[in-house]
Structure 1
Amino acid sequence: MTKADIVSEIAKSTGVEKVQVQAIVEAFMESIKTSLTNNNNNVYLRGFGSFIVKKRATKVARNISKNTTITIPEHNIPAFKPAKSFAAKVK
């Protein structure tokens, strides 16, 4: 399902115009991105899941083509953890 599909579904079920729904969906996603990048604050949506920032530790990796080792520094990555009730429905 793409973002356009989501916008179409919401517009169909609520009766709101697609342009307005598109703006709301964009604002929602932008607020999540801003929260995770600037503040490193997690976003919790009860009954759906959590958008969290995970910290990856420093690790050593190999470049197979050059036969060398490189160090990958510690970094943060965004992740999604579904709520237990949501995960149970999917299973």
Structure 2
Amino acid sequence: MNRSDLVTKVFQNIDSLNKNDIELGINQILEVLSSSLEKKNRVEIRGFGTFSTRKRERRIGRNPSSGSSVVVMEKYHPYFRASKSLKMKVK
């Protein structure tokens, strides 16, 4: 499911809003989520899951084309942990 599919699905369930309003709402939610993760803040949505960032330590990697060793600096990546209720629904 992509963003436009999500907008269409929400529109089918909520007929009191138009598609533009739903799209703006979804975009705003994703923007707030992204900006919170940029600041290394944790976002918890009860009954759904928790979004956070995890640190990947500095390591030695390989350049696949030349085979030479390269240093991959530490960096943060987004992480999602599903809630128990979401895990049960997916099961």
TM-score (norm 1): 0.92
Q: How many residues align?
A: 90
Q: Which residue of 1 aligns with 2:84?
A: 84
CA distance in 1, matches of 2:69, 2:11: 52
Partner of 1:41: 41
Are residues 64 and 19 of structure 1, via their aligned partners in 2, closer, same or farther at CA, if it must alter by over 3 Å?
Answer: closer
The alignment-based identity, stated in percent, is 30
63-72 vs 22-31, greater mean Cα deviation = 63-72
Q: CA deviation at 1:67?
A: 2.3
Return the alpha-carbon distance in structure 1 between the equivalents of residues 29 and 64 of structure 2: 41
Secondary structure of residue in 2 paired with 1:65: coil
1:86–1:66 CA distance, 2 compared to 1 (3 A): same
Post-superposition offset of 1:64? 3.4
Q: Which runs of 4+ in 1 moved over 6 A?
A: none
1:23 and 1:73 map into 2 onto residues whose CA distance is 36
Question: CA separation in 2, counterparts of 1:66 and 1:80?
Answer: 34
Distance apart, 1:29 and its partner CA: 0.2
Name the SS of the counterpart of 2:71 in structure 1.
strand
* SS of residue in 2 equivalent to 1:67: coil
Q: Secondary structure at the residue paired with 2:80?
A: strand
Q: Which residue of 2 aligns with 1:17?
A: 18
Distance 1:54 1:41 in 2: 11
Give the TM-score normalised by structure 2.
0.92
Q: Deviations over 1:16-74 (max 9, x none)?
A: 1000000000000000001111x210100000011110100111111232121011111
